[in-house]
Structure 1
Amino acid sequence: MKKIQVSRENIQLLFVKAKPFLAVIFLQLGVAGLDIICKAALNEGMSSYVFVVYRHVIATVFIAPFALVLEKKIRPKMTTSVFAKIVLLSLLEPIIDQNLYFLGMKYTTATFAAAMGNVLPAITFIMACLFRLEKVKFTSKHSLAKMVGTLTTVTGAMIMTLVKGPHIHLPWNKEGLSNNNHSTQKGEISFHHSVTGAIMIAIGCLCWACFMILQVITLRAYPAELSLTAWICVLGAVEGGVVALIMENDKLAWSLKWDIKLLAVAYSGIICSGIAYYVQGVVLKERGPVFVTAFSPLSMVLVAVLSSFILSEQMYLGRVIGAIIIIMGLYLVIWGKKKDYNSPCNKEQEMQVNQSVDMNAQSC
Structure 2
Amino acid sequence: MNVVGGERSSIVDKWAPAMAVVVANTVTGSVNALVKKALDGGVNHMVIGAYRLAISAFILAPLAYFLERKTRPKITLRLLIDHFISGLIGASLVQFFFMLGLSYTSATVSGAFLSMMPAITFALSLILRMESVRDLKSETGMLKVMGTLICVSGALLLTFYKGPQISHFHSHPEALQNNNNHQSKTNNWLLGCLYAAIGASFFSMWMLFQGTLNIKYPCKYTSICLMSVFGSFQCALLSLYKRRTVNDWVIDDRFVIFVIAYAGIVGQAMSTVATTWSIKKLGAVFASTFSPIMLISATLFDFLILHTPLCLGSIIGSVVVVTGLYVYLWGKNKEMKAAATMCPPIQNEDKYNTNDNNTNNNGSRLSV
Which TM bucket (shorter chain)?
0.7 to 0.9
After TM superposition, list the pairs within 5 Å mapping 1:8-157 onto structure 2: 11=11, 14-15=14-15, 19=17, 22-104=19-101, 108-110=104-106, 114=110, 120-129=117-126, 130=128, 132=130, 137-156=135-154
Matched residue, 1:231: 226
Say which SS state the counterpart of residue 138 (structure 1) adopts: helix
Q: Which amino acid aligns with 2:37?
A: A
CA distance in 2, matches of 1:195, 1:328: 23
Say which SS state the counterpart of residue 233 (structure 1) adopts: helix
Deviation at 1:203, TM superposition (A): 3.6
Deviation at 1:88, TM superposition (A): 0.2
CA 1:11–1:96 in structure 2 vs 1: closer, same or farther (change >3 Å)? same
Deviation at 1:206, TM superposition (A): 2.7
Say which SS state the counterpart of residue 137 (structure 1) adopts: helix
Paired residues, number: 335
Q: Which runs of 5 or more structure 1 residues have no equivalent in the other structure?
A: 345-364
Q: Which amino acid aligns with 1:46?
A: V
8 Å CA contact 1:40, 1:260 repeated in 2: no
After TM superposition, list the pairs within 5 Å mapping 1:1-364 onto structure 2: 11=11, 14-15=14-15, 19=17, 22-104=19-101, 108-110=104-106, 114=110, 120-129=117-126, 130=128, 132=130, 137-156=135-154, 159=157, 162-164=161-163, 167=166, 176=171, 183=179, 187=183, 200-244=195-239, 248-257=243-252, 259-282=254-277, 296=291, 298-315=293-310, 320-341=315-336
8 Å CA contact 2:116, 2:321 repeated in 1: no
Of stretches 117-126 and 2-11 in structure 1, the one that deviates more from structure 2 is: 2-11
CA distance in 1, matches of 2:197, 2:102: 12
Deviation at 1:128, TM superposition (A): 3.1
8 Å CA contact 1:216, 1:285 repeated in 2: no
Q: Give CA deviations for 1:177-221 in whole Å, capped at 9, x if unaligned.
A: 996899499546699x66765654444333221111111211111
CA distance in 1, matches of 2:302, 2:196: 23
TM-score, normalising length: structure 1: 0.72
8 Å CA contact 2:109, 2:318 repeated in 1: no
Deviation at 1:292, TM superposition (A): 6.6
Q: Which runs of 5 or more structure 2 residues have no equivalent in the other structure?
A: 341-368
CA distance in 2, matches of 1:271, 1:339: 34
8 Å CA contact 2:151, 2:321 repeated in 1: yes
Q: Which amino acid aligns with 1:213?
A: L
CA distance in 2, matches of 1:337, 1:83: 33
Q: Which amino acid aligns with 1:26?
A: V
Of stretches 118-127 and 48-57 in structure 1, the one that deviates more from structure 2 is: 118-127
CA 1:237–1:317 in structure 2 vs 1: closer, same or farther (change >3 Å)? closer
CA 1:34–1:72 in structure 2 vs 1: closer, same or farther (change >3 Å)? same
8 Å CA contact 1:233, 1:273 repeated in 2: no
Of stretches 274-283 and 25-34 in structure 1, the one that deviates more from structure 2 is: 274-283
8 Å CA contact 1:34, 1:267 repeated in 2: yes
Q: Give CA deviations for 1:88-129 in whole Å, capped at 9, x if unaligned.
A: 0111132222123334555x4447973766664433111234
8 Å CA contact 1:166, 1:317 repeated in 2: yes
CA distance in 2, matches of 1:323, 1:116: 9
CA 1:139–1:205 in structure 2 vs 1: closer, same or farther (change >3 Å)? same
8 Å CA contact 1:105, 1:112 repeated in 2: no
TM-score, normalising length: structure 2: 0.72
RMSD, aligned α-carbons: 4.3
Q: Which amino acid aligns with 2:245?
A: D
CA distance in 2, matches of 1:184, 1:147: 42
Of stretches 205-214 and 180-189 in structure 1, the one that deviates more from structure 2 is: 180-189
Deviation at 1:53, TM superposition (A): 1.5
8 Å CA contact 1:124, 1:289 repeated in 2: no
Deviation at 1:273, TM superposition (A): 2.4
